[in-house]
Structure 1
């Protein structure tokens, strides 16, 4: 039997994750998933590719705020802030997107932590960004889809080939499932979880973020080096599948929910 083993949301792109027991679904992903993003002074998005120590920033959500912690320092960001009115154009890869810049005290905090000029931006309600292969699938600051699913068995298979096992947090999935053979998710076209239906949009091509140790913020060669030996196709390394939400009755999924392949 296939069932959900873990659920994760990443409120700020490339920062820490929050583990959930139940997740609220939307047309752009889990509620608050990649709702914020860091940019440099030129508006270019910044991730662990450029700043590996972003892995060390931990986040937590309360009823009215996002709390970000780095070492002994922390800052609170309001979930709703009507005083923010400064729309700016930022780039996610090569795509221009309208976003809202956070308060200067927030930007100063991130700049101080990283030792360079940084800005935290949040998604603008006016922004429209779409998955390239599926123009009906809207996303926020995610790399390429609303949801990412990975099987525990796929990670087990990878770790059986590594001298030092890696954790699932290297791959930053939203939905992790148990059951089935390794890479069984490669065969899926459509799945149903509880009262929600998802369609697979494409496989996930992995980048150097997977080589960042999420506990130390240090980069290495693995697991990309090993994955390239058996998961390389079309000059890309594949691990996990991207999903889009097709329909839902209650817009909620929960750890332990059964996954049915359609």
Structure 2
């Protein structure tokens, strides 16, 4: 098996910039590319704040319904604040939901993985919309919003006892990946005669690219695996404001990266390629891509594409 880890470079410090920011308002539906996003204690604002559930309140993802990839949420602003969640899909009328709808919504318990958490049912109109588009193979589908008063903890085994919260994400508040890692995968896919893919397959929140600082070395594939706490410099040099994200767990990959986000068709090429070089001993040989991180400083600050990123190497 080819090793998944590259040798460390000689540079004293990892340097990068934010190349892209993504939020996925509805778990397992399409994401939204942003130029800036507020960091909250549960990740980027509005990330995985909603989830599709079946009639029993169990989470539903692309694993069961690949067509979820074709549901495109939009966050609409009014007077500088997000006021609406809009759902769009081919052949469907746009559905508008007021962000404050949970004030009059029915509370309901739902399950995300092994966690039962309180949520708010977004009502029959969106339930019918989802069921019409995604089908009734799982019965009537519902959209729920996470109850922000509830604290859903990330695994203390991986956070080493640090408290970290998330909403409907798989288990950690922020996922970090790099353009270099994607480029490496695409090189391997092309060598096998397969089509290249984009970062939507991996549903990362913060995507790192090469730094534009003088003499900075290029980010290498999966450098994000080998760095300690990431400092994002949210203000120009000379102003000591920053966000810090601590990598805590490599992100194991299920079959979702095999699903084309534009067609919802499944083809095994991505995971087949990862199988050759991304079996990660830190998670019992699972295929990994990206690092799950927790915020340790800077909650409330704004992340922007282009911001400078630095970190120390870990060994």
TM-score under structure 1 length normalisation: 0.96
User: How many angstroms apart in 2 are the aligned matches of 1:17 and 1:249?
Assistant: 22
Question: CA offsets per residue over residues 50-79 of structure 1, 9 Å max, x none?
Answer: 110111111111121011101132201111
CA radius of gyration, larger in:
2
Deviation at 1:250, TM superposition (A): 5.4
Indicate whether 1:142 and 2:169 are aligned. Answer: yes
Deviation at 1:94, TM superposition (A): 2.0
Indicate whether 1:247 and 2:297 are aligned. Answer: yes
Question: Are the equivalent residues in 2 in contact too, given 1:13–1:36 (CA < 8 A)?
Answer: yes
Aligned to 1:65: 84
Aligned to 1:176: 207
Aligned to 2:144: 121
User: How many angstroms apart in 1 are the aligned matches of 2:65 and 2:73?
Assistant: 17
TM-score under structure 2 length normalisation: 0.80
Indicate whether 1:166 and 2:197 are aligned. Answer: yes
Question: CA offsets per residue over residues 219-262 of structure 1, 9 Å max, x none?
Answer: 11021111011101323001100111111175111101111103
Q: Give the aligned length.
A: 262
Aligned to 2:153: 130
Q: Cα distance 1:250–1:47, how it changes in 2: closer, same or farther (>3 A)?
A: closer
Indicate whether 1:260 and 2:310 are aligned. Answer: yes
Deviation at 1:210, TM superposition (A): 0.5
Deviation at 1:89, TM superposition (A): 1.4
Question: CA offsets per residue over residues 171-200 of structure 1, 9 Å max, x none?
Answer: 000011112111111111201001111111
User: How many angstroms apart in 2 are the aligned matches of 1:104 and 1:149?
Assistant: 35
Q: Secondary structure at the match of 1:207?
A: coil
Gap runs ≥5 in structure 2: 1-14, 78-82, 211-218, 234-241
Aligned to 2:6: none
Gap runs ≥5 in structure 1: none
